[in-house]
Structure 1
């Protein structure tokens, strides 16, 4: 059994592999393990330094000839929803997001599979089994939560509980300075609800209510249509050679 010290984490470098975002490019990642009592503190520091978490691994791009991946975080306290975003909030006003400890369920996995089969059939996660999904949710040494979005029930004004089928799910880390959205998915039959946008807006509202300044969205890749949605949530900060800088820059 391999022992990982929490005092001085070891970092490793992956071999080059084809980039999923930019054709003709190859990606490499530097990564370390997030384990032990210091994992939450380490996750905070690494996320602030541009890392992302996947299970008990923290990683960031270390590509030799490309710097297209940029870490993005929304300034929750200053965020102003656009007219279209306000319509998304109104369109989903019948939904309630209930936050739980990170525990998987068969209902979640069923929705997860529907989402992958409809939106990412050829992606790297397309062959994930129910056990793989359980590991994605449970294998964490940090403060990870799962938010289940369901339709509002008749008792909602008393208990705040949603009823009916599961429509969307977000797996997120609670950190000292914000919420980090690890992964989210939704029922592809409700595409007209813009549920991906709604879940980000909900995280901004949750961060603001908790007095947390940031919502971390992971990497934005300039020129990638898959990632273009991330720069619609303004204002935000991008991590560059000089640290976190406001985007767009203030004049």
Structure 2
């Protein structure tokens, strides 16, 4: 890691954790706008930061270290037997598409996904302002990986593009197609996109072992996890 922490960093107040109900959450927030570029943001990803909208943040919880960044070594990724079966089934049914601009269908799909899958989460009830402020960014190229069933959009993976890496921001999909493991398919689509464009890593966000819905990230190997400021093999 060659990038140092910026001089201008904010510290949020503590608030209830979104993932562990008995914990309090606190964030470091980048305030130095010179870091709002693809190259410098990529260096911050190596330090465990993430993006939400235009904001760059990292958990900084005084009594908890549960959130650990995970990145997959894209050029060496090999799907497991189970992942290969899912991919083969999907390729017989769906079309995988790459887009570099938002489509009108996205918000409708996002709204359905949040309402049916995440009524207990902080993003419910969904609204367009929250959707745009969470997913989109004014200073970074965003790529949208899509899955279509004939003329119907069934999944979107919002993906940040840096010189040597991708960062998976959020995936939403049609719950009617849940049996196809669309979340897994979209990560594999991001890894395939990274391979094609010679990116070294796909950052998947934070692995939280104590939270069931946040434990899936270590299923994509080979990968590394950020522990005590060092990237260790999983």
TM-score scaled by length of structure 2: 0.91
Question: 1: distance between equivalents of 2:189 and 2:151?
Answer: 20
Query: Does the 8 Å contact 2:68/2:208 carry over to 1?
Result: yes
Partner of 1:225: 212
Based on CA coordinates, which of the two structures has the bigger radius of gyration?
1
Map Cα deviations across residues 107-155 of structure 1 (whole Å, 9 max, x no partner): 111110110011101211113312332333443311111222213xxxx
Structure 1 unaligned regions, length at least 5? 1-7, 152-162
Report the count of equivalent residues.
228
Partner of 1:97: 96
- SS of residue matched to 1:24: coil
Counterpart selection for 1:188 from 148, 167, 175 = 175
Question: 2: distance between equivalents of 1:232 and 1:169?
Answer: 20
Going from structure 1 to structure 2, the CA distance change for 1:135 and 1:17 (only over 3 Å counts) comes to closer
Partner of 1:40: 38
Alignment RMSD (CA, Å): 1.8
Going from structure 1 to structure 2, the CA distance change for 1:37 and 1:43 (only over 3 Å counts) comes to closer
Partner of 1:212: 199
Question: 1: distance between equivalents of 2:95 and 2:36?
Answer: 33
TM-score scaled by length of structure 1: 0.85
Partner of 2:154: 167
- SS of residue matched to 2:191: helix
Question: 1: distance between equivalents of 2:49 and 2:97?
Answer: 27
Query: Does the 8 Å contact 1:34/1:141 carry over to 2?
Result: no
Question: 1: distance between equivalents of 2:216 and 2:36?
Answer: 33
For 1:13-32, list aligned pairs within 5 A: 13-32=11-30
Question: 2: distance between equivalents of 1:140 and 1:218?
Answer: 20
- Give, in angstroms, the shift of residue 38 of structure 1: 5.1
Question: 2: distance between equivalents of 1:26 and 1:78?
Answer: 37
- Give, in angstroms, the shift of residue 95 of structure 1: 2.1
Query: Does the 8 Å contact 1:39/1:142 carry over to 2?
Result: yes
Partner of 1:155: none
Counterpart selection for 1:111 from 109, 112, 115 = 109
